[in-house]
Chain A
Amino acid sequence: MIFHLLAQSAGYRPFLDPLPVWPNYIWPWLVVPLCAAVSIVYKSIRCRSMSRVPREALSITFWILLGLAAAAVVLAVLVRGIVERQ
Chain B
Amino acid sequence: MSERSSASSVPAPLVGLASWLVPGLGYWLIGQRSRALAAGLSIIILFIAGLLIAGVRSLEVPGYGPHGRPVLVENNRSSDELDSGDWALTSHPLDEIRAKPWSIPQIMAGPIDLLFSVWSVRASQTGPTGAPIGVRSHSRTNEIGVLYTAVAGMLNLLVIIDSAYRAGQTEGQ
Binding site for B on A (CB under 8 A): 14-22, 27, 30, 33-34, 37-38, 40-42, 44-45, 48-51, 53
Is B30 engaged at the interface, CB distance under 8 Å to the other chain?
no
Instruction: Count residues of B near A (Cβ-Cβ below 8 Å).
Output: 41
Given contacts A18-B53, A18-B145, A50-B35, contact A37 B119 (CB under 8 A): no
Shortest 4 CB-CB contacts between residues of A and residues of B: A18-B137, A37-B46, A16-B134, A44-B39
Partner among A33, A49, A50 whose Cβ is within 8 Å of the Cβ of B49:
A33
Q: B140, A45: Cβ atoms under 8 Å?
A: no
Q: A45, B159: Cβ atoms under 8 Å?
A: yes
Please, which residues of chain B bring their CB within 8 A of the CB of A45? 39, 158-159, 162
A-B contact pairs, 21 of them (CB 8 A): A15-B55, A15-B123, A17-B55, A17-B134, A18-B55, A18-B141, A18-B142, A18-B145, A19-B52, A21-B53, A22-B140, A22-B141, A34-B148, A37-B152, A42-B158, A44-B38, A44-B42, A45-B158, A45-B159, A50-B32, A50-B34
Q: B56, A40: Cβ atoms under 8 Å?
A: no
Q: B39, A41: Cβ atoms under 8 Å?
A: yes
Please, which residues of chain B bring their CB within 8 A of the CB of A53? 38
Please, which residues of chain B bring their CB within 8 A of the CB of A16? 55-56, 123, 133-135
